[in-house]
């Protein structure tokens, strides 16, 4: 049975993407699908090799993906943190720098294409931002409910925006935190500048804010004839 709750449906869509790896050729089709859900040109996602990542001030993104390196000029293939020589595919360095917001854009687009009956949000008003903080501005402008991260707890299907410019979709609320499915992340307790769609535990204290999609206002959702006795 289809859920009428847009948040539950959005969370289900995000969960189907867990395990997608942008550093493998087999995952590139999904990754490019996320990117095309935005308004940005592909060259906007090209990596800046000196940009800091993984929440550290000292290590660059390239250095973190290639421990012990002296940061030579990037070539077409590099080892990643979890490279496995016995794996059927060899990882190639992720050429896309930040795609967490693109992943959320894509999930919302899929919701509006496949389950438009769950929300009053129109497809023409879907998010197309490449920036995590841009999702908060989008929500405020499109009849979504936007919460301050310090004043309320998120629910399943809310779009979480973190203080460190990262975003994901809440799947399991908890006490003091929650699980969210995120693109451009890493396994375990690593940082946010990664190559994977994964479910991560996040403390609520990391929330900058979160967005809840508007439900569909449907006057005819109930079977009126079965609830009101006939008098004629």
Q: How confident is the model at residue 76 (pLDDT cuts 50, 70, 90)?
A: very low
113 neighbors 105 (Cβ within 8 angstroms): no
Question: Do residues 3 and 11 touch, judged by C-beta distance below 8 A?
Answer: no
Under the banding of pLDDT at 50, 70 and 90, the label for residue 29 is confident
Q: Contact at 8 Å (CB) between 104 and 35?
A: no
| Interval 114-139 mean pLDDT | 96
What domains can be seen in the chain, in order of their start residue? 6-68+89-212 (3.90.1720)
Asked whether the beta carbons of 112 and 216 are under 8 A apart, the reply is no
Strand boundaries in the chain, DSSP class E: 145-148, 159-162, 166-173, 177-185, 196-203, 207-212
Q: Report the pLDDT value the prediction gives residue 1, as an integer from 0 to 100.
A: 46
Q: Tokens representing 2?
A: 């289809």
* Cα 211 from Cα 140, distance rounded (Å): 9
Give the global pTM.
0.78
Q: How far apart are CA 179 and CA 183, in angstroms?
A: 13
Percent of residues, the chain, with pLDDT higher than 70: 69
């Amino acid at each position: 049975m289809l859920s009428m709750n847009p948040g539950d449906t959005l969370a289900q869509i995000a969960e189907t993407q867990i395990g997608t790896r942008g550093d493998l050729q087999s995952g590139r089709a999904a990754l490019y699908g996320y990117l095309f859900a935005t308004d940005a040109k592909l060259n906007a996602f090209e990596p800046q090799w000196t940009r800091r990542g993984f929440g550290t001030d000292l290590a660059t993104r390239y250095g973190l993906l290639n421990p012990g390196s002296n940061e030579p000029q990037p070539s077409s293939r590099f080892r990643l943190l979890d490279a496995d020589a016995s794996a059927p595919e060899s990882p190639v360095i992720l050429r896309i720098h930040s795609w967490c917001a693109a992943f959320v854009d894509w999930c919302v687009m899929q919701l509006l294409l496949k389950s438009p009956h769950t929300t009053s949000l129109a497809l023409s008003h879907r998010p197309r931002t490449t920036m995590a903080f841009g999702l908060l501005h989008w929500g405020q402008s499109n009849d979504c409910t936007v919460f301050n991260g310090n004043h309320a707890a998120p629910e399943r299907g809310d779009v979480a925006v973190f203080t460190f410019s990262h975003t994901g979709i809440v799947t399991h609320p908890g006490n003091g935190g929650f699980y969210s499915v995120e693109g451009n992340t890493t396994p375990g307790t690593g940082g946010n500048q990664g190559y994977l769609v994964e479910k991560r535990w996040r403390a609520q204290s990391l929330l900058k804010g979160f967005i809840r999609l508007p439900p569909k206002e449907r006057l005819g959702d109930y079977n009126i004839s079965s609830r009101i006795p006939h008098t004629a």
